[in-house]
Structure 1
Amino acid sequence: MAEFFDQKADGEPGLALFLNAGDPPLDVLADLVLMLDEAGVDCLELAVPFPGSVTDGPVIRRSHDRALALGVGLDEVLTFIADVRPRLRRLRIALLADWSYSIKSRPLAGAVGDIAEAGADGLLLHALPPRVRPAFYQATSDAGLPIVTTCYHKVSTEQVMAEAAANASAYLYLVAQYGRSGTAPADGYADLAGTIAKLRVDTAVPIAVGFGVKTRADVTTVHALGADAVIVGSAGVARVEEALAYNRDVVTEFADFVRSVHPAHTLA
């Protein structure tokens, strides 16, 4: 589904932002999502919160904890998506769910069907065991639900990269740095170009790069290396955390953050 990120006539990259459902609370999040739609953000990578994530840094782990403390789980997130999705004009929602915490206890085809029916535009299933992948690919295909696949720069084997490229139908998430979210490659992003070019041979879907992308300069740098889109996570979640801690308006604070990283906005 190569249209997941709108094609930009001026060559700008697509922009995806990560947030945990429930951080901010869902009623505030609804207003924030509508703001993202108005601001021209392409994709919200919306996570079902789960505890003890080994791939997330402290900022996102605290976000998981705040959302879980409010009782937000898969059912609540699907209800949220079903309510907000019809009000969006362009923003797409890619649901991120952890296999063990949110999906494993449910019939796979039923869970995938529920996610598609709620209105999610794509699904990224975190920590999906290799033995389950064929059934997952079949279930999402049957439900007409595009999927996000992932691979790691410098770490993923040729086989893993080929499978990710072959099965991505929403976008392919290339993780720039093996480690925890919020960390950027110590040597910068320059050598991503070769990995992006290699993946490009085997997939027609957008290639989105994330981990450590925090500023507009990072967005511009990654796009110049061949990425179709960038994913910004910890930096935005930190702005939510700060707004909540100081009792500031989360939507206003996050709108300022969007303007600071979105390549189409003019910096003041």
Structure 2
Amino acid sequence: MADFFTRSGPGRPGLALFVNAGDPPLDALPDLALALDEQGTDCLELAVPFPDSVTDGPVIRRSARRALERGTGLDEVLECLAGFRPRLRRLRVALLVDWSHSLKRRDHAAALGEIAAAGADGVLVHALPPRLRETHLAAAGHAGLPVVSTCYQNSPDRVRARAAADASGYLYLVAHYGRSGTAPAAGHGALAGTVAGLRSLTSSPIAVGFGVRTRQDVQAVAACGADAAVIGSAGVARIESALEEGRDPVRALGAFVRSVQPVRSLAPTPNRS
């Protein structure tokens, strides 16, 4: 099983970056992934773009639209991933795939096998119908593909317990119910009780996202007891600005990561597929 996150001390959680494959254009993705790897980012949450997500804010929806207009689909993303994954030293790749847009018309087990073969370290299926939960978990297990599960801070106890039980890669705790890019009113530190409760239900890492924009936000996530912070809209916005201004989006995202990442020693680790 992949080790998704490395905590190197108090206030220094792991870091995951969300990016829509195809935004920037897919031929820039290898350089982007390698740059994140070099900077010590733990995980790339790589989304196969899909339209009109009700949980995404305007920044990520615009990004997905640009990627879709470039013709980015699951096959293209897997081909690209297979090309650069062997070159990564520590960065893990969790592939986010929408069930309706990318998986509904495919054989589910075969598709997960293809995702694993391309080098993904884990999979998060967006909007998976509840009736397919057991089928999905069995197929992922057969493919040797760790599952990333999600729940909200205000999800019912039974939903949080199910998400904790399903998480074999990591558990993504969404900081509040709303659209991506928005932060919880009470701050990320107020999630400590929820994180502690989830910790008693799973041995998998717990990552917290939504509204994480600054180094202070990342440190607040660490203070609530989570293993990692997930940054989405704030990083995607830097890519968008760079594209609009004719700047290098890889360099722009790299500068943003340096601005939010707590300083920590980065000892190289062997590539474990």
Structure-2-length-normalised TM-score = 0.94
What does residue 269 of structure 2 align with? none
Instruction: Could you list the structure 1 runs, at least 4 aligned residues long, displaced by more than 3 angstroms after superposition.
Output: none
What does residue 98 of structure 1 align with? 98
8 Å contact from structure 1 (residues 151, 174) kept in 2 = yes
Percentage of matched positions with identical amino acids: 65
What does residue 141 of structure 2 align with? 141
TM-superposed CA distance for 1:265, in Å, is: 6.6
8 Å contact from structure 1 (residues 2, 205) kept in 2 = no
TM-superposed CA distance for 1:186, in Å, is: 1.7
Alpha-carbon separation, structure 2, partners of 1:189 and 1:64: 26
8 Å contact from structure 2 (residues 48, 72) kept in 1 = yes
Deviations 1:119-171 (A, max 9, x none): 000000001111000000000001110010000002x1111111111110110
What does residue 232 of structure 2 align with? 233
Deviates more, 1:37-46 or 1:185-194: 185-194
Alpha-carbon separation, structure 2, partners of 1:134 and 1:27: 36
Alpha-carbon separation, structure 1, partners of 2:168 and 2:33: 23
CA gap of 1:10–1:160, structure 2 versus 1, over 3 A, is closer
Alpha-carbon separation, structure 2, partners of 1:172 and 1:161: 10
Map of 1:1-268 to 2, 5 A cutoff? 1=1, 3-8=3-8, 12-154=12-154, 156-264=155-263
8 Å contact from structure 1 (residues 148, 169) kept in 2 = yes
TM-superposed CA distance for 1:30, in Å, is: 1.4
CA gap of 1:133–1:55, structure 2 versus 1, over 3 A, is same
8 Å contact from structure 2 (residues 2, 121) kept in 1 = no
CA gap of 1:174–1:19, structure 2 versus 1, over 3 A, is same
Q: What letter matches 1:230 in structure 2?
A: A
Alpha-carbon separation, structure 1, partners of 2:62 and 2:10: 37
Q: What letter matches 2:117 in structure 1?
A: E
Alpha-carbon separation, structure 2, partners of 1:3 and 1:87: 17
Q: Secondary structure at the match of 1:191?
A: helix
Alpha-carbon separation, structure 2, partners of 1:166 and 1:250: 37
8 Å contact from structure 2 (residues 163, 171) kept in 1 = yes
CA gap of 1:265–1:203, structure 2 versus 1, over 3 A, is closer
Deviations 1:215-265 (A, max 9, x none): 000000111110100000000000000000000111111111010011127
Q: Which runs of 5+ in 1 are unaligned?
A: none
Q: What letter matches 1:243 in structure 2?
A: A
Q: What letter matches 1:174 in structure 2?
A: L
Deviations 1:104-128 (A, max 9, x none): 1101100110000100000000011
8 Å contact from structure 2 (residues 8, 264) kept in 1 = no
Alpha-carbon separation, structure 2, partners of 1:248 and 1:11: 32
Q: What letter matches 1:22 in structure 2?
A: G
8 Å contact from structure 2 (residues 180, 210) kept in 1 = yes
TM-superposed CA distance for 1:7, in Å, is: 4.3
8 Å contact from structure 2 (residues 150, 171) kept in 1 = yes
8 Å contact from structure 2 (residues 18, 235) kept in 1 = yes
8 Å contact from structure 1 (residues 2, 206) kept in 2 = no
Alpha-carbon separation, structure 2, partners of 1:215 and 1:204: 28
Q: Which runs of 5+ in 2 are unaligned?
A: 266-273
